[in-house]
Structure 1
Amino acid sequence: MKKKITILAGILMILLVGIAGAEEKKANKSRENKKFEKAMRSFEMEAVIMTTKGNISFYLYPEAAPKNVANFVFLAKNNFYNGLTFHRIIPNGLIQGGDSVGDGTGTTGYYLKDEFTDWLTFAHEGMLAFANSGPDTNSSQFFITMSPMTNLNKKHTIIGGTKTREDLGVLRTLRQDDKILNIDIKGKKIDKFLDYFPEEVSEWESKLVKPAKR
């Protein structure tokens, strides 16, 4: 009887140690995530999309969609978007651009998984998000909404939002085939941002299919 109690006590001890270890691992992961989010937020990132109709300024949210924002920054810094058109316009709906081909089929040669968060939604106009052809197919194409479009929540990864009403005003003047001249990325110590994504950047550099000469 004493032997059975000893065995049971040993099993119980192992279970308790396992539970404690799992809880500690979960707590460490939570602390790491919060630290990472704080680091992402500290960049205070913005993007200025310069177009043939004027400039449109956005706040970027790497704390909400870090890898997708990193992809956008990577492409902008490599001048991927320069000269591409806004190939799709839905009046009072959205404006879409960033397609290397110009007919809605162009990609970078690689895809990113979706990143969703509850606090960043399409409840407001002026949201900057990646277009896709289904779950986890984010590449280079993006769109900007001109009205609330909550039906897109958890279907498209949001990476930013317009700063002012003036930005929305410029957005509404865009027409099909207007061009992106350049995308300027701003923020604090912005040159350090992509250092947080060395493996991703290495992959993107190896797979990137640049647009044909424009």
Structure 2
Amino acid sequence: MKLRKLTLLVGAMMLFVLNIINAKNIKVGEKTKGEKNFEKIMKKFDLEATIHTTKGDINVFLYPEAAPVNVANFVFLAKKGFYDGLTFHRVIPNGIVQGGDPKGDGTGSAGYNVDDEFVDWLNFNNSGMLAMANSGENTNGSQFFISLQGMPSLNGKHTVIGSLKTGSDLAIAKVIRQGDKILSIDIKGKKVDDFLSYFSVETADWESKMQNN
């Protein structure tokens, strides 16, 4: 009887030790193979956007490998012409320029929300970031803004979906004033329609909520 108890105790201790070893080998936040493959697929689309405004064109690199659902939302709305004719309703000189509100007063949306997506390597430490405006955690919609300077205080608060391509694009953003318009937004890349096919469930949901809004 004592031998059996001793055997069970030793077995339990060995299992405890193995669990500790396995826990040390698994890094917190480490991505699975599937997640890494998905990132590679997203990156290969080489997505870009050109925001045509009344002050000139602003060219942007998009990063679906960092914020896939939020980039898909932006691409979806742009391709539907949702942004065409909307104003930049909020401008903070040397701060941000914000647009994408169908009401033009900061309260409008496309009728649905998208959750936040954050990665360490994409942040507001530099100027010229394209990000989603929100009214709190996981409330991204149609409104977006461009940062005109480094604003690290926004890190972890707003999902970054892109960055301006050149200093010339930043110069255009800096001369935008409240009331200036977004004429249209063109999306470029490799097989853009195939990109959105990865988000067919989301786009169907967004389409339905837009129609009911």
Q: TM-score, normalised by structure 1?
A: 0.87
Find the residue that maps to 2:141 and give its secondary structure.
Answer: coil
Find the residue that maps to 1:199 and give its secondary structure.
Answer: helix
Please state if 1:191 is matched with 2:197: no
Runs of 4 or more above 2 Å deviation: 1-16
Please state how far the C-alpha of 1:198 moved relative to its aligned partner.
1.6
Distance 1:184 1:12 in 2: 62
Q: Which runs of 5+ in 1 are unaligned?
A: none
Please state how far the C-alpha of 1:3 moved relative to its aligned partner.
6.2
The CA deviation string for residues 14-45 of structure 1, in whole angstroms up to 9 with x for no partner, is 999x99xx999x9xx71001100000111111
Aligned 8 A contact 1:80 1:210 in 2:
no
AA of the residue aligned to 2:117:
E
Structure 1 residues 209, 89: closer, same or farther in 2, change over 3 A?
farther
Q: Which residue pairs with 1:132 in the alignment? A: 134
Aligned 8 A contact 1:49 1:183 in 2:
yes
Q: Work out which of the residue numbers 140, 164, 167 in structure 2 matches 1:165.
A: 167
AA of the residue aligned to 2:143:
Q
Distance 2:187 2:158 in 1: 22
Structure 1 residues 202, 11: closer, same or farther in 2, change over 3 A?
farther
The CA deviation string for residues 83-111 of structure 1, in whole angstroms up to 9 with x for no partner, is 10000000000000000110000011110
Identity %: 58
Q: Which runs of 5+ in 2 are unaligned?
A: none
Structure 1 residues 46, 72: closer, same or farther in 2, change over 3 A?
same
The CA deviation string for residues 136-190 of structure 1, in whole angstroms up to 9 with x for no partner, is 0000000000000000000000000000011011111111111111111111122
Aligned 8 A contact 1:108 1:210 in 2:
no
AA of the residue aligned to 2:184:
N
Find the residue that maps to 2:97 and give its secondary structure.
Answer: strand
Q: Work out which of the residue numbers 23, 44, 47 in structure 2 matches 1:45.
A: 47
Cα-Cα RMSD = 2.6
Q: Which residue pairs with 2:112 in the alignment? A: 110
Distance 1:5 1:199 in 2: 55
Please state if 1:71 is matched with 2:73: yes
Structure 1 residues 200, 55: closer, same or farther in 2, change over 3 A?
same
Distance 1:145 1:152 in 2: 10
AA of the residue aligned to 2:114:
L
Q: Work out which of the residue numbers 87, 95, 107 in structure 2 matches 1:85.
A: 87
Find the residue that maps to 1:33 and give its secondary structure.
Answer: helix
Structure 1 residues 165, 210: closer, same or farther in 2, change over 3 A?
farther
Please state how far the C-alpha of 1:4 moved relative to its aligned partner.
5.9
Q: Which residue pairs with 2:203 in the alignment? A: 201
Find the residue that maps to 1:208 and give its secondary structure.
Answer: helix
Distance 1:34 1:187 in 2: 21
AA of the residue aligned to 1:156:
H
